[in-house]
């Protein structure tokens, strides 16, 4: 019997499979979510130097990490939302659910024309008519082109006095993806899985509410989604195994056939 892992190793070595990094760099400059008063906000990611080949540690350089769980490219575990409060924290997500196929729906053109653009059920059904059903045990990645703004926090959050304006998913589609499709979750390029205006939806933040409530996951602030085909990539999402954690900065990699 053929060894599938050895076949993958050979394909990687031969350049038949490319590893694409879907992760944004994590630094003090990484854009973070901004909630209005009276809600608590997340601290920025920060390195606090412990020693740097100096009297504090002559032969070694190391740092303490500071920052929120939901910073940069990160994973939302079901327990993050009140609807998923009895479900898995990030350390409890089964490892088999951290590796799975990914499909990409590309609405970058529509989001460029309308920053409040929302994905609808009929858009996903149109994708399925062309590319087959959303993958069981896999991810729906929603490309909006928002990654081009990821180095500029003001442009990335795109807020005015009416709140943030970033693309997302409408209420009906969020409910349908949670209840009617066998996916692991959704991945987006924006600061969160919900649209910027989703504070005003009914219910508010429907992606968080329905998907996490259904035991599914979110991946945010992805990069390089434009380098993936509509179908055929394998996604590896590796959040830190934070006991009791609601999420974690995550290295997200895609294996893509070339
Ligand atoms: Mn989050």
* Annotated domain spans of the chain: 17-41+68-257
Question: Distance from the CA of 7 to the center of ligand 1, in angstroms?
Answer: 35
**Helices 171-180 and 121-131, packing angle to 10 deg:** 50
Percentage of residues in the chain having pLDDT higher than 70: 100
β-pairing, 139-143 vs 185-188, is parallel
Question: Distance from the CA of 167 to the center of ligand 1, in angstroms?
Answer: 16
Residue 226 clears pLDDT 80, i.e. is over it: yes
Question: Distance from the CA of 156 to the center of ligand 1, in angstroms?
Answer: 15
Kindly report the CATH class assigned to 17-41+68-257: alpha beta
CA dihedral sign, ordered 172, 174, 177, 178? negative
DSSP-H helix ranges across the chain = 4-13, 108-113, 121-131, 153-157, 171-180, 206, 213
Distance CA 187, CA 105 (A): 10
Beta-bridge partners for 254: 20, 235
Q: What is the pTM of this model?
A: 0.97
Where residue 24 falls among pLDDT bands split at 50, 70, 90? Answer: very high
Average pLDDT, integer, range 35-60: 97
Where residue 22 falls among pLDDT bands split at 50, 70, 90? Answer: very high
Residue 234 clears pLDDT 60, i.e. is over it: yes
- Catalytic residue numbers, as ranges: 80
């Amino acid at each position: 019997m053929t060894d599938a892992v050895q076949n993958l190793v050979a394909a990687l070595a031969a350049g038949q499979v490319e590893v694409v990094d879907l992760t944004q760099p994590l630094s003090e400059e990484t854009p973070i979510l901004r909630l209005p008063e009276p809600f608590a906000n997340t601290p920025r990611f920060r390195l606090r130097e412990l020693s740097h080949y100096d009297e504090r540690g002559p032969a070694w350089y190391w740092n303490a990490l500071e920052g929120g769980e939901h910073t940069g490219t990160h994973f939302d575990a079901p327990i993050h939302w009140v609807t998923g409060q009895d479900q898995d924290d990030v350390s409890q997500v089964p490892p088999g659910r951290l590796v799975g196929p990914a499909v990409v729906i590309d609405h970058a053109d529509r989001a460029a024309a309308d920053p409040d653009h929302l994905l609808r059920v009929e858009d996903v059904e149109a994708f399925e008519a062309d590319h087959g059903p959303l993958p069981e045990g896999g991810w729906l990645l929603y490309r909006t082109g928002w990654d081009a703004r990821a180095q500029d926090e003001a442009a990335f959050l795109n807020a005015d006095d009416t709140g943030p304006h970033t693309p997302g998913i409408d209420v009906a589609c969020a409910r349908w993806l949670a209840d009617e499709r066998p996916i692991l979750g959704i991945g987006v390029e924006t600061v969160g899985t919900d649209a910027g205006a989703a504070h005003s939806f009914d219910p508010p933040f429907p992606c968080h509410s329905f998907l996490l409530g259904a035991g599914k996951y979110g991946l945010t602030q992805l990069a390089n989604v434009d380098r993936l085909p509509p179908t055929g990539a394998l996604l590896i999402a590796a959040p830190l195994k934070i006991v009791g954690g609601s999420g974690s900065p995550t290295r997200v990699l895609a294996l893509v056939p070339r």
